[in-house]
Structures are given as C-alpha cells and as structure tokens.
C-alpha cells in the first residue's frame, strides 16, 4: 500500500476497540542490512510466520489482488493459521462471484461438450458459487464464519476497513462464546 504503516496503525486501533491486540507484519523491526533481496524476503517470511504463531486468530483481506483470487501470501497465511488450529475470519471489498471474476480474467473462454466452461489453457472454471478458491472459503466456513463482502470504490478497494470491522465483531462474538485457551 502507499502508506502501509498508517494502514496497519488504523487496523490496530480498530482491533483495540474490540478488545484485541492487532499484530501487523511491519510491527517487527527486522534488520535487513547487508542481506540480498532474497535473504531479506526469507527473513520477512519467517518473521510473519512467527507473528502468526503468537496470534489467537487471523483476519484476512481476501479482496482479489492481481488476478481473480486473493493475494497468494494471504492465502498462504490463511492455510498456515488453519494448520495451527486458529480461527480464520475474512473480508473482501469485491462482491462479484469468483467464477464470474475468473471468467473475466481468463478470456477467451469456451464451453466443453459437457457444458462446463474452460479457459484458454484448457483448465476448467468451476462454478461453485463461492467467493474465492474453495480452500480459502472452506477455512472461513470451518471457523464458523463467512466472508464479509461489500463493494467499495476502486480507490478504496484495498484500504476500506468496514469489512475488517465486521470481522472484528464476528471474532469478538466467537471468543466471548468460547474463550481461547491461554
């Protein structure tokens, strides 16, 4: 984001309002001096994983990013959280169905003999009527929630936090009914 530190601070303030302490990648003060770009990337990756290991839940921004799906790093972190046994909440600032988005991105598409749709590479576009790849949607469903979707303007697509706040409400209800083990 143009102002990632500010965006993180804004979300952490919202977290505090709901009784949570937000953890944000840029909280870590990593010494990346003298590292190659790849080494720096690997240190950031490890620090992000450690940050998630210290959390009791994850709120993922699933707004489609450079393609029909959520950012691959976000998808990874959702899976990581689920593997650790943490509940995953999520929001998206795009409402259009995943299959419809994929159809727009993967043109030219064509119909197979069985009526299913495939992209130019011959890969099927699966019409599940869900918000993104089923593994991501399943993580949120298995956590007892649903993806908070709303449409924003293009300018606010990655910065609007109304969906994030809805996730905080859901997370608060989740922990108030079943407090986390400490």
Locate 107 and state its tokens.
């043109």
Q: Which of 66, 48, 69 is nearest to 58 (CA)?
A: 48
By CB under 8 A, residue 19 contacts its own copies: no
The dihedral of CA 41, 168, 1, 69: what is its sign? positive
The C-alpha angle with vertex 128 and arms to 72 and 96, in degrees rounded to 5, equals 65
By CB under 8 A, residue 97 contacts its own copies: no
By CB under 8 A, residue 167 contacts its own copies: no
By CB under 8 A, residue 49 contacts its own copies: yes
The DSSP H or E segment spanning 89 is strand 88-92
By CB under 8 A, residue 66 contacts its own copies: yes
By CB under 8 A, residue 134 contacts its own copies: yes
Residue ranges that bind its own copies, judged by CB under 8 A: 1-2, 36-38, 40-42, 44-46, 48-49, 65-73, 75-84, 102, 105-106, 118-119, 121-124, 127-130, 132-139, 141-142, 154, 157-158
């Amino acid at each position: 984001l143009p102002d990632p530190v500010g965006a993180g601070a804004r979300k952490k303030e919202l977290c505090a309002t709901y009784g949570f302490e937000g953890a944000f990648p840029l909280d870590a003060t990593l010494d990346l001096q003298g590292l190659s770009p790849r080494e720096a990337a690997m240190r950031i990756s490890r620090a992000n994983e450690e940050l998630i290991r210290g959390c009791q839940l994850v709120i993922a921004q699933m707004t489609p990013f450079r393609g029909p799906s959520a950012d691959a790093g976000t998808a990874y972190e959702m899976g990581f959280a689920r593997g650790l046994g943490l509940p995953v909440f999520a929001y998206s600032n795009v409402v259009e169905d995943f299959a419809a988005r994929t159809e727009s991105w993967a043109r030219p598409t064509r119909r197979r003999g069985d009526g299913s749709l495939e992209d130019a590479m011959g890969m099927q576009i699966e019409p599940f009527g869900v918000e993104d790849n089923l593994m991501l949607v399943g993580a949120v469903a298995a956590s007892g929630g649903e993806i908070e979707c709303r449409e924003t303007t293009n300018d606010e697509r990655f910065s609007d936090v109304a969906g994030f706040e809805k996730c905080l409400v859901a997370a608060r209800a989740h922990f108030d009914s079943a407090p986390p083990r400490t």
